Chain A
Amino acid sequence: MATLGEPQAGTVVRVSGPLMEVDGVEGVAMLEILAVGPQRISAETVAIAGNRATLQAYEYTGGVKAGDAAVATGNQLTGLLGPGLLGQVFDGLMRPLSSAPLWLTPGRSTSEEDPGILARKWTFVPSAAVGEQVSPGDVLGTVPGAGSVEHRVLVPPGISGELAWLASESQVRALDPVARIGSREVSLAERWPVRSARPFRDRPAGAVPLHTGQRVLDLMYPLARGAAAAVPGGFGTGKTMLLQQIAKWSDADVIVYVGCGERGNEMADVLDGLSQLVDERTGGKLIDRTVIIANTSNMPMMAREASIYTGICVAEYYRDMGYDVVVIADSTSRWAEALREFANRNGDLPAEDGYPANLASALAAFYERAGRVTTLGGRTASVTVIGAVSPPGGDMTEPVTTDTQRFVRCLWLLDRDLAYSRHYPAVSWTGSFTRDEEAVGRWHTANGDPGWAKRRARAASLLAEADRLGDLADIIGANSLPGHERMVLLGGRLLRDGVLMQNALSANDGFCSAEKGAALLDLVLDVVDTCQKLVEDGVPATSIEQADHGPVLRAREETGPRDAAAVSSRRAEIVRGLEALR
């Protein structure tokens, strides 16, 4: 019945969706990849008992039979890390999609074997000196034309000694040697098992904010480079839009965008959008600083599980070159579901909502790969992780959401009511948090904006006060409140609509510089102060409320994305207009 005979070949005995059991595989290791059946679909070893291995298949297993051969490959799931990643789209196993056919049938090659990638030639420009002692992280040379950041070829982890030979400036392919250290050859590209974190020297103290270009984040819930953030929200609350905005506008060097079990049209949209947008810092296209890992919801489920590790592995590779990298994972819930699906088929005892008991530790391990580090080569660099969370039924008490909250530095909670009233980004000011506010405040103080923390505190208390009074007004009517409280309500509205709201689709408003954000918030706070003074001096609240506040609300739209000066210059005029109500 079995087609044995090949060395190291076992026999499939059970197939249930992505789960397969194989008998007779001696010497197979955990996480080792096997090629199964006539299509040689890849499957990873997740359990071993005696000489029976349990595999999770990375492809559709239709047609796989009991008796089919399963051949050990000796490898773990590896990524081929080298030039040619930026600007490209890969699937969860790091196979290029850009060159794949229209329909994704099983049996495609893994990235190491992709002929297109292996055949491509790059120019290697040496920069080290032969005879030097080198150690991991040292730069051997660069590769021009591989994306919008300088591509540095480093001494890989685990190799050090005398640089015995270095290629001269020449055309090389991914697996061609470019250097010899001691007796070990170093090739242009390196293979790395995606599930293992790449080593670094240490984590330096201090926080440097990542500027996202989204006001509500930068002003209220800032994210430090190397931190992790989660964006939980029900469907349609704007997770993807927010993440895409960050991919477009944040001041990171490299973006790794992982579409993990989400929509195909969204991936096409990201690709299209980034290919058109100009990167202001380099003059190139934004896509040239981006790597897209796309494992959409209809692609094989277990490759979805692998995709976030693939993404973070690519990010660590660029981090080691000295760059600030942001990994965007949309959505981590789909990854957790893949874990659950497999655990259930494997008969593991379920914990909450069917999720396996190791869900929390798996999430922790993932988010812990974020960090601002000193690399082996001594550069300061970071991997920032931002993950969407899609709670079933919008229920924020479900396991993935609650576990994630424990391990992240920032939570940007998206509120369904805000989204339904088209307040975007629908980041809630009652449920969101950042753990780095003080450190970021110190950074701003040291970098020319000493008012940052105070401004943030005023905005937070205005929002809270306006919410409290708004609830009261809903019961007794706003007209029954005293004038100064009505001004708080007005101020809350101006703050929400004029500063926190941000239209992703607008050329002027989609991105906002730190200075313009500060200017807009200062503008609103000034207007609130003025209005308070006016009611104190006896101006009727109604006439202040009914004044035309359009110039405040439209300032974000009508001034350029970096034009803080234009916002500030409006201020005097608006305040003058209000004073005229006396």
Chain B
Amino acid sequence: MTDRTTTPGAADSENLPRKAEGRISHGDVRELRGPLLVMGDVAGVGWDEFASVDVAGRERHGLVLEVDHDLVTLQVLEGTDGMAPGNIRVRFAGQPLRIPVGPGWLGRVCNGRGEPLDGGPPVTGDTTLPVSGWPLNPVHREPPQEPVLTGISVIDALTTLVRGQKLPIFSVPGLPHLALATQIAAQATSGGTAFRVVFAAMGLTHADIAYVRDRLEERSAAGELVLLLNAADDPVIERILTPRIALTVAEHLAYTEGHDVLVIMSDMTSYAEAVREVSAARREIPARRGYPGYLYSDLASLYERCGRVRGQNGSVTIVPVLTMPAGDITHPVPDLTGYITEGQIVLSAEVAARGIYPPVDALSSLSRLMRSGAGAGRTREDHLDVAAQVLAALARARQAAELAELVGAGALSETDRSYIAYRGQVESGLLNQGHDELRSLDDTLGRAWSALATLPRQELTMLSTEFLDRYLPEGSEAS
């Protein structure tokens, strides 16, 4: 039922021109407002159609947002700067935007619209697909359950990533989220094989882009990386397209070519701001903080493109990266993201200030699919219980530390003091790690056990006697 030929609307790129050459051009400009262009006297144009906009001989691109009698409202991806009603010609493509897909994307560096930045020819492929994709029938989904090993202890031990999951990184400006995201991209394997990586940059500074390119140099040279780069000074509205191109390329690599694909999208906050800008120009009624009410569904139309399909090999795993404005997790972008993704990895300035990399706040972080991707038969029999115990003890340690600040460490009970020592051990032994350091799972779990060994044994109520006897290091406080 789900063989390789089922990709929807797959068609010959020959027959389906991506651009709109040869079609009627329209010049009746009625309005220019923000990123919007309203054309009059247009017939036969469909909603969500793609268009090419000729501005005094230079090409821009647009998507149809509304059709009203003979008026058509377009959002111009490159923005409307410098456009004047007299020198605009619009040609409609007759269909929503499609891009060519295939292995030709691997090893390429393109801008946020998929045009080459690496001096090579335009990317071609045997088929084209609509960039907005189609919803995957949930009945055909295979619940994700194979662990992805990143070699990063805090993730592998406490928030295990699973093949086909969507697991975002919530950060604040200034923290090393790109270091973490690129480390995942460079090191991640599932079942021993590496991923094809599609990296969509939205609104990143040139310095950040250079850093990402440098960190992923090897993957790029090996022809396993696709880079789509929209820089901070590139057109804002183009960012709405960038993740859709990335995901369309990824879906094809996964479900048609059979690869495991990892899609990293950074920074989703810049993406959402572009969505907000269009919404504001359309004078839509905002929900919270100026963001449109459909932001949830819009983000879901991206994040839900991850997954596994029954009877097929490939997978799409998505790691969106976003910076929380003012570190506020209730801001609409992290909040709505959290409502869609399967957990979150939260970076904290406070942890970073204690000199720990990656500065993950383990208690606020969670991988919801870990329960099916870790444990006996997946990673190691003790994994889930150890993770639960490490976190429960960290929660208790945090309380003890807060109390110590109020009443002084001297007034703490002996047990509470052991929790404070435990936290130090977790942070230095387990969580802290080098930017290029790759740890095996056994190493990581061993470090977790060593930290637990600083606690009295009767505190380890979440671990069975069997596991305690088997894994708890000899000669520890706890034994």
Contacts and interface: CB of A to CB of B under 8 A. Distances in A.
Interface in B355-377: 363-364, 366, 368-369, 371-372
Counting chain B CB atoms within 10 Å of each CB, which of A294, A337, A393 scores highest? A393
A421 B142 CA distance: 30
A268 B308 CA distance: 10
Interface residues of A, number: 71
A102 B287 contact: no
B192 to A, nearest CB: 24
Given A298-B135, A344-B285, 16 more contacts: A16-B67, A64-B46, A66-B43, A89-B138, A97-B138, A102-B136, A105-B9, A263-B304, A265-B369, A297-B304, A298-B300, A298-B305, A299-B135, A392-B332, A393-B330, A550-B461
A85 interface: no
A397 interface: no
Interface string B128-169: 001010111111111110000000000000000000110000
Interface in B334-383: 335-336, 338-340, 342-344, 363-364, 366, 368-369, 371-372
Given A61-B47, A62-B96, A422-B392, A265 B67 contact: no
A505 interface: yes
B82 to A, nearest CB: 28
What interface size band does chain B fall in? 35 or more
B436 interface: no
A17 B364 CA distance: 37
A265 B342 contact: yes
A479 B413 contact: yes
Interface in A248-305: 259, 261, 263-265, 267-269, 271-272, 294, 296-299, 301
B56 interface: no
B296 A103 contact: no
A299 B301 CA distance: 8
Contact of B458 (A269, A297, A476, A550): A550
Nearest to A20: B47
Contact of A265 (B1, B144, B402): B144
A477 interface: yes
A105 B135 CA distance: 8
B287 A479 contact: no
Counting chain A CB atoms within 10 Å of each CB, which of B300, B368, B369 scores highest? B300
A456 B343 CA distance: 34
Contacts of A393: 288, 330-332, 335
B293 interface: yes
Contacts of B372: 269
Given A14-B66, A420-B363, A505-B371, A296 B135 contact: yes
Contacts of B406: 474-475, 477
A298 B43 contact: no
B95 interface: yes
A388 to B, nearest CB: 11
A341 interface: yes
Interface in B377-424: 384, 388, 391-392, 395, 402-403, 406-407, 411-413, 415
A1 interface: yes
Nearest to B372: A269
Given A236-B368, A265-B141, A268-B138, A297 B48 contact: no
B44 interface: yes
Contacts of B143: 265, 268-269, 272
Counting chain B CB atoms within 10 Å of each CB, which of A62, A264, A477 scores highest? A264
Interface string B305-340: 101010000000000000000000011100110111
A182 interface: no
A17 B6 CA distance: 26
A65 B340 contact: no
B45 interface: yes
Interface in A61-84: 61-67
B65 A102 contact: no
Interface of A: 1, 13-17, 60-67, 89, 97-98, 100-105, 234-236, 259, 261, 263-265, 267-269, 271-272, 294, 296-299, 301, 334, 337, 340-341, 344, 350, 353-354, 390, 392-395, 420-422, 474-479, 505, 542, 546, 548, 550, 553-554
Counting chain A CB atoms within 10 Å of each CB, which of B294, B297, B305 scores highest? B297
Nearest to A504: B371
A265 B363 contact: no
B218 interface: no
B66 A103 contact: no
Nearest to A90: B139
B297 A297 contact: yes
Contact of A14 (B68, B142, B388): B68
Contact of A13 (B68, B293, B304, B330): B68
Contacts of B342: 263, 265
Contact of A63 (B48, B384, B391): B48
Interface string B270-300: 0000000000000011111000011011001
Given A102-B1, A297-B297, A548-B458, A62 B46 contact: yes
A267 B138 contact: yes
Nearest to A96: B139
Nearest to B302: A298
